[in-house]
Amino acid sequence: MIESMNLAILVGSLLVAAAVVTSFLSTRFGAPLLLIFLLIGLVAGEDGLGIRFDDGRVAYFIGSLALAVILFESGFETRLSSFKTAALPALSLATFGVLVTAGIVGVAAMFAFGWSGTKGMLLGTIVASTDAAAVFFLLRVGGITLRDRVRSTLEIESGSNDPMAIFLTLSLVAMATAAAGEGQPIVALLRDFFIQIGLGLMFGLVGGFVMARIMNRLELEPALYPILLAALMLVLFATTGLANASGFLAVYVAGLICGNARLKNAAALRRVLPGLSWLSQIAMFLTLGLLATPSEFGTVLVPALIVAFVLIFLARPAAVWLSLIPFGFSRNETAFVAWVGLRGAVSILLAILPMIGGITNGQEIFNAAFIVVLCSLILQGWTIGPVARWLGVVVPARSGPVERIELELPGKGDHEVVAYRVTGDSAVGRGRRIPRWARPSMIVRDGRSIRYEVAGPLREGDRVYIVTATEHVRLLDQLFARPVENADSAALFGDFVLPPGARMADLAAVYGFVVSGEKSGRTVGELLVAAFGGDLEVGDRIAVGPVDLIVRRLNEQHAIEEVGLALEQREPPRKLPLFQNRREITQFVREIRKRRAERRAARAPAISSAAGAAEMGGEKPHGEGEGHEPQRPDPDQAGPGKLQDEERREQAVGDERPA
């Protein structure tokens, strides 16, 4: 027994070490790191090194715990300001979008596999939700900077759509295993769904505030705070599940609340939680990889590839477009959100449920879901960066890398101590003064501590310790950060720097171009705000006459500080012929109505001329002679064609009346 235990520990630790060591392949070849974890599990499994693992219940238990940790850490790292800007579109994707995706994929699975409607829809719900681990990793470590609204929408969607998919999957498993006539009616399913989501949200809100209060009230060793927070998170997850509510939604909401609260020892928590999340991802993907048997994939390979194609190129784009129509996303942004519909461990985890439930074809459903996930990770995960650049949705980074250490202060004050290392190419390293509201207390230079007042000018390699208000830390980051790559590029930021209050008429006179219309009387800042509706990002640009205006810098309140002027306009990113938003659809409908009105107006003079010519020639319609009344068709005796002609004439007259 002891030898078996030691062997299990040896194998498990070697697999984890192999997963970590091979992570360099992700950065070297651009492969999604989570795909590497999954492939290591496959290689070590029954068809590889021969490790036999076929206990679906244990795999589901491990995966559920790991997913709870991942979702909590995802919420913990999400800023509340980002949540406010992207909550509505993300929740639309997480609910309505999941339903649309499940429906389209379910129909495709029915025809591809020849399954019943219930089993086809079951596969549709299993692969309907995006994977939080995959999306968060690829967006944060992928080396691209997106607009806040797009990035936050994707992250919040991936963290909040799991409850919907889990509920639908459990409901369909229950329907598939129930005897004839014993299934729940639709009304009961809807009631259970709203109860689960509502209770999960309530448990998450209450639990998050309680967890934050407990963390701040207790005096513990610093190393114990992360352990306590993880334990409280699992208590919340289990308690919510026992109440028949969504534990995954509860831990995500609790993480959002705790991450935006002032927690004691917050710096240590932010260092430890990502490590726990990584360990959970490795454990989950390795376990699910071990559970799969690639030799069985051949029987479902072709229909599974068809389902994957429908999911990636039809179901996900349709669901995203329909969900985001009301929210003003551009066509290219909608296309990018549709492409980042990564499927991952959550789909494989849900695919275990049909096997546990004893459903016929349960193993086929699991294998099909596994193939769909592999296709998604390979095709979508490997191409996120190139697709983002091709669609033109990448924006310049706000600031470069910064070396900062946060030190915990006792008590509940609103100040903290931060330590920065001075680099030669940072603003401070180039001679910029530290603001007066920041209070440098000490400088460490060549291993010696020196008071700031007697240290003289800062040198490269100095470490500066500053006491400052918490809300000012980001401003200090900009002073000590290295410059952003291509920060002075004229192609990105324009040829000249302007204040946001500069008027277009003055610029036209100075630089010798013409701006017509009401734009000439407005400032460059007003034009940018009007174009983007206040949702501004560094690098946003618009064409005004023959020049481009570019957002160069934003302040902490997201207001424009600097505007770039490009005298040569950049070719705009290609606009796709799909994914029109509400404004474009409304404009399209107006154009159609306008053209119809113009055609009717063009036909009206011709009709009047013909009537006048007939009158002057003394012609009378057939059947209208002297002593005869004009004959009108009897509606009761007229044929359907005549009735339709009468209706069209009445409609045309009604359309031409003034409003």
- Rounded CA-CA distance 406/414 in Å is 14
pLDDT tens for 327-337 read 888 888 999 99
How high is the pLDDT of residue 624? Answer: 47
Residue identified by tokens 């800007």 is 85
Q: Do the Cβ atoms of 480 and 404 come closer than 8 Å?
A: yes
Considering 26-35, 483-492, 545-554, the range whose residues carry the highest mean pLDDT is 545-554
Considering 440-449, 511-520, 573-582, the range whose residues carry the highest mean pLDDT is 440-449
Q: Rounded to the nearest 10 degrees, what angle do helices 56-76 and 247-259 cross at?
A: 30
Residue identified by tokens 């171009």 is 513
C-alpha distances in angstroms, 586 versus 318, 327, 328, 529, 659? 19, 13, 12, 22, 20
Confidence of residue 372 (pLDDT cuts 50, 70, 90): very high
**What percentage of the chain reaches a pLDDT higher than 70?**
84
Within 474-525, strands assigned E span 496-498
Within 153-205, strands assigned E span none
Average of per-residue pLDDT values in the chain: 82
Q: Rounded to the nearest 10 degrees, what angle do helices 316-324 and 80-92 cross at?
A: 110
Confidence of residue 493 (pLDDT cuts 50, 70, 90): confident
Q: Do the Cβ atoms of 338 and 97 come closer than 8 Å?
A: no
In this predicted structure, the answer to whether residue 105 has a pLDDT above a threshold of 90 is yes
Average pLDDT score over residue span 259-266:
86
- Rounded CA-CA distance 552/562 in Å is 5
pLDDT tens for 272-295 read 998 898 899 888 888 988 899 899
The pair of structure tokens assigned to 199 is 């209770």
- Rounded CA-CA distance 124/311 in Å is 9
pLDDT tens for 90-103 read 999 999 999 999 99
pLDDT tens for 77-90 read 888 877 777 889 99
How high is the pLDDT of residue 30? Answer: 63
In this predicted structure, the answer to whether residue 651 has a pLDDT above a threshold of 60 is no
How high is the pLDDT of residue 330? Answer: 86
DSSP state, 261?
Answer: S
CA-nearest of 274, 360, 376 to 316 is: 376
In this predicted structure, the answer to whether residue 609 has a pLDDT above a threshold of 80 is no
Single-letter code of the amino acid located at 36? I
Structural domains of the chain in order of their starting residue, each with its CATH number: 2-177+185-391 (1.20.1530.20), 404-480 (3.30.70.1450), 490-566 (3.30.465.10)
Q: Do the Cβ atoms of 237 and 68 come closer than 8 Å?
A: yes
Q: Could you report how far apart the first and last alpha carbons of the chain are, in Å?
A: 88
**In b/e form, how buried is each residue of 188-213, taking b as 16+ CB within 10 angstroms?**
ebeeebeebbebbbebbeebbeebbe
- What are residue 394's DSSP bridge partners? 146
Considering 152-156, 203-207, 544-548, the range whose residues carry the highest mean pLDDT is 203-207
Q: Do the Cβ atoms of 257 and 212 come closer than 8 Å?
A: yes
Q: Specify burial of residue 647 (Cβ count, 10 A radius: 0-12, 13-18, 19+).
A: exposed
- Rounded CA-CA distance 312/309 in Å is 5
